[in-house]
Amino acid sequence: DDAAGAAVEAAVAALLRELDAGVAPERAMGTAFDAALAAVSALDGPTTRHASPSCTYVSGVVTAGWLAASWVGDSRAYWVPADGEPVCLTVDHALADADGAPHSAPLTRWVGADAGHGCAPVRMFEPPGPGRLVLCSDGLSRYLTGPVDLAPVATEEPGAAARRLTQFALDAGGVDNIAVVVLPYPPDDPGEHR
């Protein structure tokens, strides 16, 4: 919890600062990830040596003409079009799963002092029409049979969609943290970054 909270606070502040300054999205998202990594790494200390605080990471930006996602670990970003099939925009950083159980494979990348350093991938996407960008932790995605399960959120109000998806994960077992963000495309205010 502490790691995820620190990562979110640092990344959001850095991302908004960079985008407001006109920095290119890929670079802005890289700076945001670096800020998240530094914030989580700073939580490490003498009392956490055998269990460094860590988390996974996903961020997204929606503008009037494009959207972008950046990630590390198994938190995911999905494009859910108003017309068409939803798709996962991210690829989990995890070892191949030998037994076929969802989300049972060990992570190969995460955010934390013991994770090493590196860049977070950035995926830019120009949607062909309206839809939703869904960002979530594996507390939700572990219960999806596939991206198509997200189709009902395509036209739903974003806040209501996020609450419904969170409740879906809780009802399915809720064995892990559940974080869900649903962003509309195009944004409600085309001049704002969401």
Average pLDDT rounded to a whole number, residues 129-141: 97
Query: What does the alpha-carbon distance between residue 3 and residue 11 come to, in Å, rounded to a whole number?
Result: 12
Q: At 67, is the secondary structure helix, strand, or coil?
A: strand
pLDDT at 51: 76
Per residue in 16-59, pLDDT (tens digit) is 999 999 999 999 999 999 999 999 999 987 766 667 899 999 99
Per residue in 78-106, pLDDT (tens digit) is 999 999 999 999 999 998 765 555 556 89
Residue 126 half-sphere exposure, CB side, CA atoms within 13 Å?
Answer: 1
Which residue spans within the chain are E strands per DSSP?
54-55, 57-62, 67-72, 76-81, 87-88, 111-112, 122-125, 131-136, 180-185
Residue 149 half-sphere exposure, CB side, CA atoms within 13 Å?
Answer: 13
pLDDT at 55: 95
pLDDT at 44: 81
User: Which residues are CB-contacts of 21 (< 8 A; sequence separation ≥ 6)?
Assistant: none
